Amino acid sequence: MPRVVTVRGTGAQMTWTLLAANGRPLATSAHLFAGAEELAAALRELHADRRELRFGLMQPPSGRAWHWTAYLPARRSDSQQRQAVARSARGYLRMDQCRRGAEGFTAALELVNIAWPTGT
């Protein structure tokens, strides 16, 4: 079963990582959070809106690895900006592998219990 692990950064800042059932990192949060409550709220929103996720695949000009970023639609009606919520935890050699990685993230979100992330 996939699981979410929270990671404490400097001070009160926190981030999350989604692990596959075998323990391999699938995704990381796109942002740092001010504390546990903010992180938990963001995870609940991500899980609730997981079917609205859109993905951007990119390969930096200076690198070979492909990476994906997951976006949720803008929450304010006056904004067209999408909100980045997650990034691939690793790079992929080919675009099709990257796309499958994003699909794996989406599938894992369907299975994970996001309500109670565990700390590390």
Mean pLDDT lowest for which of 17-21, 61-65, 94-98, 106-110?
61-65
Structural contact between residues 42 and 114, judged by C-beta atoms closer than 8 angstroms: no
Of 31, 39, 44, the C-alpha closest to 120 is: 39
> What fold, for 3-119?
PH-domain like (2.30.29)
pLDDT at 120: 47
Domain ranges, ordered by start, for the chain: 3-119
In angstroms, the CA 119 to CA 36 distance is: 10
The arithmetic mean of pLDDT across residues 86-101, rounded, is 96
Instruction: Check pLDDT > 60 for residue 118.
Output: no
Q: What is the pLDDT of residue 74?
A: 73
Q: What is the pLDDT of residue 37?
A: 87
List pLDDT tens digits, range 22-66: 999 999 999 999 988 898 889 999 999 999 999 999 998 888 899
